[in-house]
Amino acid sequence: MATARKADKPYHHGDLRAALIAAAEAELIGKGIDAFSLRGAARRAGVSHAAPAHHFKDAMALLDALAAAGFARLTATMKEEQAAAGADRKAQLVAAGVGYVRFALDNPELLQLMFGTSRRKSDDPELGRNADAAFSVLVNGVGMIRGRDAFTGEAGWRDVAACWSMVHGYAQLAIAGKMEFVTGLEFTRQRDLIEDLVRRALPEKAPL
């Protein structure tokens, strides 16, 4: 009986998709988005260069999946901070902001992928759902304080924009080393500042 050729054997991997997404993050961190390649991710995952085709049609599809995973992790980090915060409504929003910055500072390359303009606009449904879920944490935080009626007009959305701009802007400036007074500081030493900034972004009374 002839022995089957190795190439004819079915390909096996515990979770090829998850392995490729993890490898893609390592590739992104190691080479940056401009030098990112599907072959490089496959190599890091220890699979053949053809293996990614089982799940991703091209490098951009793999990056979409990585960005989707990033938004899921962002949501989880914000909710983790909220779980440790007090029940006070404003404390919950502040905690979400702290979680946002913590995720960003821990994952600068991933943050750039998630929000950068160097990647084509995606219609990937998982990416859309996960991005919306992360955004909703901030929206719900504002809604708890201002009331859901605030979103019937512009006031609530302006509050969301203020909080989002504050935490995202802080994170980007800190990552770029543009705020010398926080550069190099451990996150625990930045926490009080971030909390204060979120409170400033949403004053007790909404502006007229």
pLDDT confidence of residue 206: 54
Q: Are residues 31 and 121 in the same domain?
A: no
Which residues constitute the domain of residue 21?
A: 13-56
**pLDDT at residue number 156:** 94
**47 and 112 together in one domain:** no
3-class secondary structure per residue, 129-158: HHHHHHHHHHHHHHHHHHCHHHHHCCHHHH
Alpha helices, DSSP H, located in 35-106: 38-45, 59-84, 89-106
Q: Output the pLDDT for position 5.
A: 35
Does the residue 6 lie in any domain? Answer: no
Q: Which residues in the chain land under pLDDT 50? A: 1-12, 208
pLDDT of residue 104: 98
Question: Do 48 and 68 belong together in one domain?
Answer: no
- pLDDT for residue 121: 74
Share of the chain above pLDDT 90, in %: 73
